[in-house]
Structure 1
Amino acid sequence: MESKSCRNSLAVKTSHVLPPDTNNHGTLFGGKLMAHIDDVSAIAAVRHARKLVVTASTDSVDFLEPVREGDSVCVEAFVTWTHTTSMEVFAKVVTENLLTGERKVCTTAFSTFVAIDEDGKPTAVPEVYPETDQEKELHRSAPERAEQRKQRRKNSKEMAATFGTVYPWNE
């Protein structure tokens, strides 16, 4: 399988923030922005793997600036690192006041996707290689994030086993 550049997977989507997308503060619902991020990140993962993918985890979604009604949001995502069947995707969201032209990075996020075959089983993905300084830094630091994900997943499984599916007062 031939390796591919980070740039090869780049996916971009710009959306207008309309009243139904906002909360009582006049800012974009966080969940709505997370849906945009997951959508664009999944496209980047499919572009890299050229296979179906599923979201395995979202490491972080850091909301840095508010996104106001009437603004636009531009989500850019690309594959930064790969393992055997998984891909780490970095997403950056830029909000723009369409009347003034002021632009700010409002959100960053890391997600992991797993490529699957037609039977829904994990399948191999090509390696990715960085070209720019920013891509190289994300690629260099990816194994540490992968280890953190692994530990967090272990902790989540332990938490799920502890709490189970029934609340104690419902037994």
Structure 2
Amino acid sequence: MTDKYCKESRTVFSNYVLPPDTNNHGTLFGGKLVAYIDDVAARAAMKHSRRTCVTASMDSIDFIAPVKANDEVVLEAFVTWTHHTSMEVFVKVIDENLLTGEREVCVTAFLTFVALDDLDRPTPVPGVIPESPEEIELNQSASKRAETRRLRRTESKRIAARFGVGFPWER
């Protein structure tokens, strides 16, 4: 299996933000943007692995600025780091005012995907080769994020086991 450059997984998605896609503040619904993020990140993971991929984790989705109605939202994603069967994907979301051309980064996010074989079992993925200073920075800091994910997942499993499937008032 040959390692791949980050740019080989680069995926871009854009959408015109219409009023039905917005909340009472005239900004894009957060849940709709999260769906866009998951979609573009999944396609970047699939380009890297050339396999079906499933979302394993959404580490952080940091909303920095709103996406406004009548603007274009542009999402860029690429694989920053890989482990045996998993891939970390970075997503940057840009809001562009189509009338003025003003652009700003409004969201950054990290997601983890697992590649699946033909029997839907985790399967190995190629390594990643960062080239640009930004890719190198994200690649070098990825193992720390992976450790944070591992600890968070352990805690999530503990909480799920403790609280079970019902609500306290149903017991």
* TM-score over 0.5 for the pair: yes
Taking the aligned partners of 1:46 and 1:169, their CA distance within structure 2 comes to 43
Q: Residue 150 of structure 2 corresponds to which residue in structure 1?
A: 150
Taking the aligned partners of 1:167 and 1:35, their CA distance within structure 2 comes to 27
4+ runs deviating over 6 angstroms: none
Q: Residue 113 of structure 2 corresponds to which residue in structure 1?
A: 113
Taking the aligned partners of 2:149 and 2:48, their CA distance within structure 1 comes to 21
Q: Residue 91 of structure 1 corresponds to which residue in structure 2?
A: 91
Taking the aligned partners of 2:67 and 2:136, their CA distance within structure 1 comes to 29
Report the TM-score when normalising by structure 1: 0.99
Query: 1:19 deviation in Å?
Result: 1.1
Q: How many residues align?
A: 171
Taking the aligned partners of 1:168 and 1:137, their CA distance within structure 2 comes to 45
Q: Residue 42 of structure 2 corresponds to which residue in structure 1?
A: 42
Q: Residue 64 of structure 1 corresponds to which residue in structure 2?
A: 64
**Percent sequence identity over aligned pairs:** 61
Q: Residue 9 of structure 1 corresponds to which residue in structure 2?
A: 9
RMSD of aligned Cα (Å):
0.6
Show CA shifts across 1:53-110 (max 9, x none): 0000000000001111001100000000000000000000000011111100000000
Report the TM-score when normalising by structure 2: 0.99
Taking the aligned partners of 2:119 and 2:21, their CA distance within structure 1 comes to 36
Query: 1:20 deviation in Å?
Result: 1.3
Taking the aligned partners of 1:93 and 1:62, their CA distance within structure 2 comes to 10
Query: 1:119 deviation in Å?
Result: 1.3
The amino acid across from 1:39 in the alignment is D
Show CA shifts across 1:31-52 (max 9, x none): 1111111100000000000000
Q: Residue 131 of structure 1 corresponds to which residue in structure 2?
A: 131
The amino acid across from 2:119 in the alignment is D
Q: Residue 78 of structure 2 corresponds to which residue in structure 1?
A: 78
The amino acid across from 1:159 in the alignment is I
For the residue of structure 1 that corresponds to 2:148, the secondary structure is helix
For the residue of structure 2 that corresponds to 1:111, the secondary structure is strand
Query: 1:115 deviation in Å?
Result: 0.1
